[in-house]
């Protein structure tokens, strides 16, 4: 099974050159090690600081020169207990890297997302609950905490996964709605978000029924969210951009590769580039592409997420 990463321009880029670092996970020798690469065809991926024998990383995030990722290298104290936790490390190769556990012991976190400033982190969390055996619709909550105080955690919404920030106060996430359609929901936090006793926000449904929407990635303009979709009559998943004001879907990957699966969109911090996984069923490669050039190979190793 193989997939690749692609980057497409969401607008016309200016003439200046900007280096974009993409965190991705390769799998040499059946192990998973985080790596990052610049979208350059003649440069091999450079390894990030990694934890030996850390075999599960979920969704990596780079912010303020730090890598945030999920790892399961610390074993639980009893069988059949989940133990995935959030860690961070400095990616400056001139410094001595150390790994900081941000998830309290006994708590299980997935899918980290970092606010625009880097001050707040959102995760999909089981808390201290045990896994209930569910596979498709995980019984996780959306939990927020300050990067500087990870022990003070606030549940902002029950039943949600794959959070993504817009600015400092808006979080989008996905979950299966009561009508059976997977949809994107939104919670808005108060301007001075400090109170650990804040009641759970009432989530607002963003995407309509009639189309399954997964793994949202928010643009920082506050108007758009990239989602992976599954539509009736189409056996392929595609990435689309949803305008939250006009309630309109705009196709992205279906215009380029209508007969391939696309997953897990992500948006650059300047909202100019949209990335995603693309499944071809062939050898695993990582590519980047924009609106002005052909796809360029940047890695020959496999990966899970970026």
- 59-101 confidence digits (pLDDT tens): 889 899 899 999 988 887 777 677 899 999 998 766 666 899 9
Is 209 part of a structural domain of the chain?
Answer: yes
Q: Provide the token pair at 237.
A: 């998943």
* pLDDT beyond 90 at 174: yes
Q: Which of 12-16, 73-77, 205-209, 280-284 has the lowest mean pLDDT?
A: 12-16
CA 188 to CA 203: how far, in whole Å?
8
Percent of the chain surpassing pLDDT 90: 49
In this prediction, residue 29 carries a pLDDT of: 45
**Segment among 15-24, 101-110, 140-149, 252-261 with least mean pLDDT:** 15-24
Task: Note the pLDDT of residue 190.
Answer: 80
The residue among 294, 289, 291 whose CA lies nearest residue 5 is 289
First vs last C-alpha separation in the chain: 18
What backbone phi and psi angles, to 5 degrees, belong to 43?
A: -125, 130
Per-residue confidence band for 180, with pLDDT thresholds at 50, 70 and 90: very high
Look at the pTM and tell me if it is higher than 0.85.
no
Based on the structure, what is the number of domains in the chain?
1
More confidently predicted of 21 and 304: 21
171 is a domain residue: yes
Cα gap 277→4, rounded to integer Å: 5
Any idea what DSSP says for residue 28? Answer: G
On average, the pLDDT of the chain sits at 79
Please report the pLDDT score of residue 21 as a whole number. 56
Residue 133: predicted pLDDT:
67
pLDDT of residue 16: 42
Q: Do the domain assignments include residue 145? A: yes
73: left (phi over 0), alpha (psi -120 to 50) or beta: alpha
Least confident interval from 8-22, 213-227, 257-271? 8-22
Q: Is residue 305 part of a domain?
A: no
Q: Give every strand in the sheet of 100-101, ordered side by side.
A: 61-63, 66-71, 85-90, 100-101
Q: Whole-angstrom Cα distance, residue 168 to residue 220? A: 10
pLDDT digits (tens, 9 = 90+) for 185-240: 999 988 766 655 565 668 999 999 999 999 999 999 999 999 999 999 999 999 99
Task: Show the tokens assigned to 20.
Answer: 């974009």
Question: Domain with 95 in it: what CATH number?
Answer: 2.120.10.30
> Can you list the positions of beta strands (E) in 16-92?
22-26, 33-37, 46-47, 61-63, 66-71, 85-90
**Rounded Cα distance, 184 and 159, in Å:** 12
Q: Which residues contact 12 (CB under 8 A, 6 or more apart)?
A: 291
For residues 292 and 289, what is the distance between their CA atoms, to the nearest angstrom? Answer: 8
pLDDT computed for residue 166 by the predictor? 96
Phi-psi region of 41 (alpha: psi -120 to 50; beta: other; left: phi over 0): alpha
Which of 186 and 277 is assigned the larger pLDDT?
A: 186
Handedness of CA 53, 22, 277, 102 (dihedral sign): positive
Q: Is residue 103 part of a domain?
A: yes
Q: Length of the chain in residues, anyone?
A: 306
In a domain, 257, yes or no: yes
Does residue 280 come out as left (phi exceeding 0), alpha (psi in the -120 to 50 range) or beta? alpha
- The residue with greater pLDDT, 249 or 291, is 249
Phi/psi for 255 (5° steps) reads -75, -20
* DSSP tally for the chain: helices H, then strands E: 0, 24
C-alpha to C-alpha distance for 108 and 150, rounded to whole angstroms? 13
The answer to whether residues 277 and 24 touch, using CB atoms and an 8 Å cutoff, is: no
In a domain, 306, yes or no: no
| DSSP single-letter state for residue 253 | G
DSSP single-letter state for residue 41: T
Measured CA to CA, the distance from residue 305 to residue 101 in angstroms comes to: 20
pLDDT-derived band at 162, boundaries 50, 70, 90: very high
| Long-range interactions of 98-103: CB distance < 8 A, separation 24+ | 99/49, 99/51, 101/74, 102/68, 102/145, 102/147, 102/150, 103/150
Domain around 169: 3-299
Point out the least confidently predicted range of 103-112, 128-137, 142-151, 281-290: 281-290
pLDDT for 138 equals 79
């Amino acid at each position: 099974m193989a997939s690749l990463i692609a980057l497409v321009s969401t607008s016309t880029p200016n003439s200046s050159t900007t280096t974009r670092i993409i965190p991705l996970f390769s799998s040499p020798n059946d192990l998973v090690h985080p790596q990052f690469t610049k979208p350059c065809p003649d440069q091999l991926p450079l390894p990030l600081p990694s934890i030996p024998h850390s075999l599960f990383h979920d969704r990596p995030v780079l912010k303020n020169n730090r890598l945030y990722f999920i790892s399961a290298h610390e074993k639980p104290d009893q069988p059949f207990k989940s133990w995935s936790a959030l860690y961070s490390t400095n990616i400056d190769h001139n410094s001595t890297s150390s790994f900081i556990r941000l998830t309290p012991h006994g708590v299980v976190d997935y899918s980290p997302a970092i606010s625009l400033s880097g001050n707040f982190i959102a995760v999909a969390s089981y808390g201290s609950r045990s896994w209930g055996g569910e596979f498709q619709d995980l019984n996780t909550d959306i939990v927020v905490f300050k990067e500087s105080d990870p022990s003070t955690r606030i549940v902002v919404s029950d039943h949600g996964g794959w959070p993504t920030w817009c600015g400092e106060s808006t979080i989008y996430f996905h979950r299966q709605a009561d009508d059976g359609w997977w949809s994107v929901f939104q919670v808005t936090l108060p301007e001075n978000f400090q109170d650990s006793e804040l009641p759970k926000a009432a989530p607002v449904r963003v995407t309509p029924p009639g189309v399954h929407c997964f793994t949202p990635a928010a643009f920082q303009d506050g108007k758009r969210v990239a989602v992976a979709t599954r539509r009736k009559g189409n056996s392929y998943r595609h990435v689309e951009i949803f305008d939250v004001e006009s309630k309109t879907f705009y196709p992205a990957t279906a215009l380029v590769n209508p007969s391939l699966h696309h997953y897990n969109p992500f948006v650059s911090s300047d909202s100019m580039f949209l990335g995603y996984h693309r499944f071809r069923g062939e050898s695993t490669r990582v590519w980047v592409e924009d609106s002005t050039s052909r796809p360029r190979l940047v890695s020959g190793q496999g990966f899970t997420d970026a």
